[in-house]
Structure 1
Amino acid sequence: MNHNAISIKDLHVSYYGNEAVKGVSLSVEPGNLVGIIGPNGAGKSTFLKAMLNLIPRDKGDVKVLGKTVKEVRKKIAYVPQRNDIDWDFPITVLDAVLLGTYPSLKLFRRPKKSDKEWAMECLKRVGMEDFSKRQIGQLSGGQQQRVFLARALAQNAELFFLDEPFVGVDVSSEETIVKILKELCWQGKTVIVVHHDLSKANDYFNQLILLNKELISYGAVSEVFQTDIIERAYKGQFAFMKEMGV
């Protein structure tokens, strides 16, 4: 039986008593690269974290591959916002990527040579193999984001969730990351990305979730990226968007 990659029914989330996400329902089929867009304060990151059980939901049902998130945790890779990560933590690039293999390691078993080889393979894929012995805190923003994508790749996950992966990232790292995300989708994986730059949405994604606390629209980029639909989400911010050519 084929399941949707993600099925969400009537998801509600509050932050300090204020409703941040209201009644969102949608299904994502496998193999899609989906951008979550919407104005500042629209609840994009909250929505992503609530899907993954990283923050409590008021109500709503989320199924991943037809099961609860807890049941398929090993099949999910999550790349948080860079400001959510302790970059002073004394860990090398290679060790950070090796953490991605831990879901498949038995408790307290040290990584084997094959695990390290796989981690290096993932670093090569993001163009960071020459930095394997560096401390993660010594890297640029783009390099750090590549390392965390390599860690996600090391997990061999089916679904990849990335929260604002392009913030503070150089152009070449952004291009590398997008290329890899597209490759993952060609392999049948599902990728969900919180994203704020509307000018790139058409190039990066094949589907969009447009949020402003409520679900404004979800579907193919060409369907969602219509002036009247975008205007419903951005309201007062729309004059600025017209300058961006939306």
Structure 2
Amino acid sequence: MHPVVRPLFLMHPDGGLFERLRAAGSGLFRLTRVAGWAELAAELARAPGTAVSIVDPCDPARPGALAEELRALLARFPAATVIAALRVDPGSAAELRALFEWGVADVIALGREDTPAALARRVGAVQARTVHRLLKRALPRGVPSRARILLTTAAETVAAGGQAPELAAALGVNERTVPRWCRRADLPPPRRLLAWLRLLLAAELLDDPSRSVASIAEACGYASEVSLKAALRQFMGAPPRELRRRGAFDTAARAFAQELFELREAARAQGRPEKTWLN
């Protein structure tokens, strides 16, 4: 499978860190440097849910203190994935505990874990956890591994703004093969599967009250706010305001799980074996 490119924002004064991340990229992420907390917040307001930010968590005006701006950012964007990059020593335990309590996803120890290879592994692992976390929340129990492979790759494709051709490329097959794989895995056809996963990403952001519907539409690859609203009505029969009231992600996840159940029951009714392979 080919890697899927996702956004990585860097807000850190260490110029060497930027260069090492750029060397680590190798197509795994799209690196953007931001100048401050306000600019980072503006980027996150437009970014897909699988974006990752690496920040300097320290307050330059208060040596030894953490930046309250980071705490505010994580409170404003509770679904954001943020990594703190700082010097770590035996006296850093209280700082690290506070960072994780605030909602930081991971910590990079500068000078020890910041080679290009180590950074690539760390960012890749955090990005993967973000997609896996969303799928774990959305999927019913007992989804076979063959279906999870397709679902994970499709979610990564959607997060990067891809469509059916990009999904096929990420799976390493031609476009004509993917519908057969989806059918054998009891999943919706590729375009509908991608539409569902894009809706799940959008629904997760809808549960963040700081996000406007227009910014969610942009972040999730919809042509406009109108397009997102139309998709929500088509798949879930409700406008954004109603879905926010009900719990947008939970509502979307239940509807998606119901469709997967119906597809599996239809396959059983046709006598299709429980175990099929992607070939």
User: More helix per residue: 1 or 2?
Assistant: 2
TM-score under structure 1 normalisation?
Answer: 0.29
Richer in strand (by share) = 1
